[in-house]
Amino acid sequence: MELKNLKNEWISQFDNPLIIAGPCSAESEAQMLQTAQRIKNSTDQVPVFRAGIWKPRTKPNGFEGVGVIGLNWLKKVKEEFGFKTATEVANAGHVRAALEADVDILWIGARSTVNPFTVQEIAEALKGTKKPILVKNPVNPDLALWIGAMERLLGQGIENLGAIHRGFSTYQKTKYRNVPNWQIALDFKNQYPNIPLIVDPSHICGNRTGLSSIAQEALNVGYAGAMIETHCSPDEAWSDAAQQITPEVLAELISGLELRQSGITGYEDELGAHRTLISDIDFQLIELLSQRMKLSEKIGSVKKENNLAVFQPDRWKVITDYAAQKAQETGMSQDFIEKLFKAIHEESVEVQNSMMLPKA
C-alpha cells in the first residue's frame, strides 16, 4: 500500500470542515470540563476535543503537561459531553497510555515530526491501530520529512492518516508565530489529495486576531478542517495563552467561516483559472526582475569605470519614495512594498559589489 492509494475514509464520519477544539494543555479537571461544557453550549460544530497532556516546551523547568492524569479528564469529556478526544503523543510510552485510555485521535507534534527516530518509535507503538493519526508539519520547512513521517506510520500498517499544517518556524520576527508557507502545504495536498489536511491557525498566528482569516484561507484551498486552541479562561492558560480563545469566540469564528464545497459551486475551476493567471504573473515578475538585474549590472560597470561607490543613498531614496507612492496608488501595503524593494535593492548592491572585486 502506498500513501497515494490510502482511502482515509475516517474523515467522512465528520461534517466538513472538521473542527477540533480544546485547550493547548490540560491543566485541571475543572478547566477541561468547563471548556468542554462551554464549547458544547456555544456550537454543535465541534465533534473533537483536543488537549495536550504532555507538552513539548522550548526551555526546561516550565510546565511540561499534567501527564497521564489528564487522560482521565479527556475520558470524562468524552463521557459527559460526547466529544471524540485527541491528544499529542511524543514517545512509545505516551502512545501506550493514550491507547489504553482510548483517546480517539492522536497527533504527532511538530517537534517530533522532525526526528525520524521519534516518529519510528511512535509508529511502532501504534502498529496496526485503526485510530486516525494526524501528523503536524515539521517545525522546519521540509516537505520530505512530513511525508517521511506518514510513510513510517503506513509502514506499521496505520492507514487512517491526516496532516496538520501548523506553520514553520523562522528566526526572523514576522507577524506570524510560525509562517504558513502555504506553498509547502499545497504541494503536500497536490501530491496526496486523499490525505485530509487540517489547518492549525493557533500555532500559525500565535495570537487571537489572525485566526479566522487563516482558517478561511485554508478552507478556500480545500482543507478538510481546522484545529483551534480554545480555553475557558485563555488569559490564564498555562501555555500558549496569547493565541487561545474562549469557546464563545470560537463559536463566532466557526459561524463566520464560509464553506466552499468542491464540485457544488464550481469553485475549483475558478480557483484553477486564477492560479494559472497567478503563475503567469509570477513568471513575468521573475522575467522583469532578471531584466532589472541586467540593467543594474550595466550601472555597476559604469560605477566601476568611474570609481563610484556602489551604494548611493540618494538613489535609494528615489527608489523607495517612488515605490511608496505606487503602493499607495495601487492600494497595496506600503510595508510590503518597502520590504520587497529593499530585498531587490540589496540584491542589486550585492551583484554590483561582486563586480568591483578584482577578478580571481
Q: Which residues form the interface with Mn ion (CB under 5 A)?
A: 24, 240
User: What is the spatial distance between Cα 160 and Cα 131, in angstroms, rounded to a whole number?
Assistant: 7
Q: Between residue 190 and residue 229, which ones bind ligand PEP under the rule CB under 6 A?
A: 203
Q: Cα separation of 178 and 269, whole Å?
A: 30
Binding partner selected for residue 136 from Mn ion, ligand PEP, none, CB under the kind-specific 5 to 8 Å limit: ligand PEP
DSSP state of 230: B
Least separation, in Å, of the C-beta of 85 and ligand PEP? 14
Q: Which is nearer to Mn ion, 181 or 244 (CB)?
A: 244
In the complex, minimum distance from the CB of residue 202 to Mn ion, in angstroms, rounded to a whole number = 6
53 touching ligand PEP, by CB under 6 A: no
If one asks whether residue 231 binds ligand PEP (CB under 6 A), the answer comes out as no
- Residue 74 in contact with residue 82, Cβ under 8 Å? no
165 is a site residue for ligand PEP (CB under 6 A): no
Which residue from 22, 52, 201, 225 is in contact with ligand PEP, where contact means CB under 6 A?
52
The alpha carbon of 24 is separated from its chain's Cα centroid by a whole number of angstroms, namely 15
How many angstroms separate the CA atoms of 218 and 213, rounded?
A: 9
User: Residues touching ligand PEP: how many (CB under 6 A)?
Assistant: 9
Question: Which one, 26 or 195, has the nearer CB to Mn ion?
Answer: 26
Angle at 105 between CA 103 and CA 109, to 5 degrees: 110
* Stretch binding ligand PEP (CB under 6 A), from 107-115, 190-198, 218-226, 256-264: 107-115
Q: Is 85 helix (H, G, I), strand (E, B) or coil?
A: strand
Mask: binding to ligand PEP, 274-313, rule CB under 6 A, as x and -?
Answer: ----------------------------------------
Cβ-proximal residue to ligand PEP, closest one: 109
Give the distance from CA 348 to its chain's centroid: 33
Interface with ligand PEP, residue 109, by CB under 6 A: yes
DSSP 3-state of 132: coil
Of 127-156, binders to ligand PEP (CB under 6 A) are 136
Neighbours of 23 (CB within 10 A): 25
Residue type, 257: L
* Angle at 332 (CA atoms; ends 331, 334), nearest 5 degrees: 120
Judged by the rule CB under 6 A, the positions of this chain that interact with ligand PEP are 24, 52, 56, 109-111, 136, 166, 203
